[in-house]
Structure 1
């Protein structure tokens, strides 16, 4: 080509020298450098390169596998690319630098078509690589912070829940709890089982709308209020009235649903209230399962009347309280889900499904029912189940044996078996067995010193409040033994492990009395065992105008859940002009009405009443919305108000 085609040599040389990318021209199979521009010289740290080969000018090209790129390009005649290669370069002054480069090596051919040389173009991308690495580290730190925060929230919720269920002589209680998807953090379900002072047992299961710190904090406050009032005298109405007053001051508590039941295991009498919550399920010992009638009380903040229901449990009957997360399962109609729950609970209570699990009936129901129901559907919310069964009172433990070493093992084993039959948790069993071993050992070693071994009497009873009382008695003589490295520490250990230790010493022997309240652990279930949480984008809720209706009317199609509640609240406020315009809301197409949706309608009806508006909720009989509205004691109609109107 002539200078007219490419410009004069001086101009071309100047452009080559000033190019913002590093450029090298190479000749021959040894890759002799014949041209190098300013940026290439600067990046390499070597001023004199022309005339030398790549291997001579850059010895590190051998060890860092760079020479292979040139050899492969020359050998194959194909362009070679290296992306973000990390290279260390040694400069003329002996210093080293490390940088990242994108490198392109292009073959040149002679007139015969053979490869005669190469051109290298390289761009330093150190800034890009390091920024990406920094971004990755920032993302990792953010994920770690999120994980820690999520774990704190979940841990906080679990700390707010009871560590165990009381064990009473005539009642066995159990609970199963499965949190919602970890990405949504903790939810607002809570439960309690409280041994009242007079031998009765109070059961509480509640649900606060929402997830995360706010839901957990609200749940904790409501639980504390209800628990405090119930422990006073077991009055359900007083406890719910106190929670309702809290909801009046705490907006996050409004719309919370709660079921409270108080059982007297002595005669089986049951009193309960369903404040917007699904009704209890009674699994009969010999007859069919049945749901107890809802009492008609509204969710918290929806009214101040909490009527009670009454029933009676026979020995062997089992009562279940469940959260709506187990009923409002993806893909299941409300009525269908209630039937399915009753059937599965009955099968698990009678050990017809996953047989020989080693669990008690109440434990089986809480674990296996959740597992079996969620296998095909997964779950979109926290799932909680609380169960109690009325049982015959256990026989007390009575033993008498010779004060000899073999008796220590016998006593230890007998107490452990007796506690296991009661359903006591492992920690309680360990504590009481250890105490018995130490006390019997004390009798064997010291009670009859210097004489023939006498007798040791062991007794264990469970009182009406769920406290085990163990007595170890002998007819020998008490001897003081200060603690030392070789012994005397047994009683100190016993005092630390059990709730109370009392010694009664006299001329006719010594009696050691241990008191320890026992519990059975609530079971935190694992999602992988029972079915995964439902993930993906939330379902769409449609608000469809009905222009053919004689008055303002919309139809809702889809789920009313936490994901769609905020949108619905804004739409109702807009359509009713903040409660001043009449509106009929047709809930026929609502596939799921969660507690968050109940709160939205509750607020809308309250605003409507304050403004003298006319908001009507229409839910046909048997529809998912009608079931929930009835449980919540929320005003609605089951007949289309634009044909024949009948208030439900």
Structure 2
């Protein structure tokens, strides 16, 4: 049998099939990414030209895989090839997210790949290496992600279908995790399936006396309404003694008594860890639950079991102690994390320790710089373990690490008060450093602007030396305190007809009170101090299988403190879009634009507040503005503020009518 290597060229003598030069050239020119590796260390023996072009390197032949590409170690890629070499069984994985350092990119590159790894055998049928066919499916994954992001109606249908599930989970689980000065706490909850209404897993983080925090993860046998109701009972029974004294054994004794009375609670497991972030002391007890795992840059270790068995089984419980180093994280988890399909518990447990150690040491995914150590310990560990095996049960993770306290805010003093933009940036940076959730951040930003504006307008100093100070800090139990102090004398509210009269007088402090847990006004002869307090929290991640492999979203650019009011001339009716802050410094410009676009209040106007970054009381009053002596709104406005936006949050608080549905939805409305 012969073959013409260059096609049907009758002027050349045919060469024998399998001629070495031809086979080598054919392999190198294949439009496929193929790499062949030899030995247990996966020394690169051959790879196609397309693969060399893909990795941007031409000098890898003869080098071990991990010496050439160290990234696969922490991202669990080499583990696939290890298993194929050891077992002789082929493996395939799909949509595998990889970060690697590409020389011509200058920074880590994120890609998604399909792998088909096949053993290569030598004499005696022994496995001598691994051949891998690689497909870059990044474009396919990105297109799918874009399609999901853009399919708003499909997403809404999905959210409606899961409303009951999410509502039940959020009612049964903590609404948020406490934010403490010296402790970084995060949690993730992965549902077993889309149609699972609720499970028996739960987590909790309870601040206790003495600057400590109690971490709890538990699991009730079974699923469904009964398991969920039992879980809620156990969580409440554990919370009270922990919150009051931090006594772990007293809390477990109360839960054990409940388990003996309530059949559905019998054999429930729970682990309670008490962390003192000041010195890292850990005190714990595990009632039949998987032991806590501590991981640092140099490795991981499981804490020994300190309880004899689950609740309601007449088991005895004792306390054990250890210490969490400043660069370590402690992870509590449910058994769904180690009882994954295709994994023996012992192997899965060792894999968990290795993966968490890699994540803590920074050998996992790069670029999650905006996430805290505890958050990465939950989310990256979950993705790296579950994406290869899937999961058959709910999975709960609760992580904690020590951290340095975030410096408090200290602004102002004698002289010209700082601009609002400086105050907003400082408070925003402080709240972000603490890890506060979006709702807390928006509440504090609005509160500080309202109280600061109130100090400038209502407190008139007797001398030319104006002093206004802004301070913000957080106590040991997670309550944030914001105070604005001035050296002026409180001025009585002006009445209609007075040049100083403004319709939004009093609205600012009312908004600040509504956005926080407590507001106090201390009026003295030497000045006034307004203090607001709010307990901060960060949301836990309630996830489904399609939300744990999304990659790293681009970090949004910092929003400028510049007000932009954009016409939308191609909209079906008169419409403007407002971008940036609407506060005491920009409200005059906003008022003038409303007058211009409504022709002095005689024409309708849609005001799109989607992109408003701050909505102060002065702007709210402008939206409500009335003619002197009448009850009619001067400007016939239709205010649009979608759910979740800053404007929607504030307008809902003050009760100003607005629509959360785009008035021009489905019509040819240009995006601003």
**Same-fold call, TM > 0.5?**
yes
Counterpart of 2:338 in structure 1 is 327
How is 1:99-498 mapped onto 2 (pairs within 5 angstroms)? 152=164, 155-284=167-296, 286-357=297-368, 358-400=370-412, 407-448=419-460, 452=464, 454-481=466-493, 485-498=503-516
Aligned 8 A contact 1:420 1:429 in 2: yes
CA spacing shift, 1:154–1:473, aligned 2, 3 Å: closer
Gaps of 5+ in 2: 1-158, 496-501, 551-672
> Where do residues 566-581 of structure 1 align in structure 2 (5 Å cutoff)?
none
Match of 1:519 in 2: 537
Deviation, structure 1 residue 447: 2.4
Secondary structure in 2 aligned to 1:182?
A: coil
Change (3 A) 1:387 1:428: same
Contact kept in structure 1, 2:192 and 2:395, CA below 8 Å = yes
Residue 304 of structure 1: CA displacement?
4.2
Secondary structure, aligned partner of 2:523: strand
Higher RCO (C-alpha 8 Å, min separation 6) = 1
Separation in 2 of the partners of 1:340 and 1:523?
A: 23
Written as runs of structure 1 = structure 2, the 5 A alignment for 1:546-585 is: none
Give CA deviations for 1:86-107 in whole Å, capped at 9, x if unaligned.
xxxxxxxxxxxxxxxxxxxxxx
How big is the shift at 1:530? 3.3
- In structure 1, list runs of 5 or more residues that go unmatched: 1-146, 533-648
Q: Quick one: structure 1 residues 514 and 300, their matched pair in 2 at CA, closer, same or farther if it must change by over 3 Å?
A: same
Secondary structure (helix, strand or coil) at the match of 1:528 reads helix
2:526 aligned with 1:508: yes
Is the partner of 1:430 in helix, strand or coil?
Answer: helix
Tell me: CA distance 1:525–1:152, structure 2 relative to 1, closer, same or farther (3 Å). closer
Distance 1:482 1:190 in 2: 54
Kept in 2, the 8 Å contact 1:461–1:468? The answer is: yes
SS at match of 1:201: strand
- Tell me the equivalent position of 2:594: none
Divergent runs of 4+, >3 A: 147-154, 401-406, 448-453, 529-532
Instruction: Give 1 or 2 for the bigger CA radius of gyration.
Output: 1
Q: Is the 8 A contact 2:417 2:468 kept in 1?
A: no
Change beyond 3 A, Cα 1:395–1:449: closer
Deviation of 1:500 (Å): 1.1
Instruction: Give the secondary-structure state (helix, strand or coil) at the position aligned to 2:384.
Output: helix
CA distance in 1: counterparts of 2:494 and 2:460, whole angstroms: 18
Is the alpha carbon distance of 1:148 and 1:355 closer, same or farther for their aligned partners in structure 2, counting shifts above 3 Å? closer
> Which residue of structure 2 lines up, in the alignment, with residue 78 of structure 1?
none
C-alpha displacement of 1:493: 0.9
- 1: CA distance, partners of 2:528 / 2:267: 58
Closer, same or farther: CA 149–403 of 1 in aligned 2, 3 Å:
same
Q: Normalized per residue, which structure has more helix?
A: 1
Matched, 1:499 2:510: no
Q: CA deviation at 1:363?
A: 0.8
**Which whole-Å CA distance do the structure 1 matches of 2:183 and 2:525 have between them?**
40
SS of the residue corresponding to residue 510 of structure 1 reads strand
Alignment partners' CA distance in 2, 1:239 and 1:406 = 49
What are the Cα deviations for residues 383-435 of structure 1, in whole angstroms up to 9, with x where unaligned? 11000001122222211157768622211110110110111111111111111
Q: d(CA) in 1 for partners of 2:407 and 2:177? A: 21
Native 8 Å contact 1:315 1:392 kept in 2: no
Superposed, which structure 2 residues align to 1:71-82 within 5 Å?
none
CA distance in 2, matches of 1:160, 1:404: 50
Secondary structure of the residue that 1:376 maps to in structure 2?
A: helix
Once the two structures are superposed, residues 560-611 of structure 1 have per-residue CA deviations (whole angstroms, 9 ceiling, x without a partner) of xxxxxxxxxxxxxxxxxxxxxxxxxxxxxxxxxxxxxxxxxxxxxxxxxxxx
- Once the two structures are superposed, the pairs formed by residues 541-620 of structure 1 within 5 Å of their partners are none
CA contact (8 A) 1:173 1:388 kept: yes
> What is the distance in 1 between the residues matched to 2:233 and 2:267?
15
TM-score of the aligned structures, taking structure 2 as reference length? 0.55
Query: 1:528 corresponds to which residue?
Result: 546
Indicate if the aligned counterparts of 1:237 and 1:306 stay in contact, CA closer than 8 A. Answer: yes
3-state SS in 1 of match to 2:389? coil
Cα distance in structure 2, aligned partners of 1:386 and 1:486: 45
Deviation at 1:504, TM superposition (A): 1.3
Tell me the SS of whatever aligns to 2:298. coil
**SS at 2:534's partner residue?**
strand
Does the CA contact (< 8 Å) of 1:191 and 1:206 recur in 2?
Answer: yes
Inter-partner Cα distance in structure 2 for 1:311 and 1:406:
47
Give how far 1:221 is off. Answer: 0.6
Q: TM-score, normalised by structure 1?
A: 0.57
Q: Is the 8 A contact 1:153 1:212 kept in 2?
A: no
CA shift digits 1:524-563 (9 cap, x unpaired): 123113379xxxxxxxxxxxxxxxxxxxxxxxxxxxxxxx
Q: Secondary structure at the match of 2:307?
A: coil
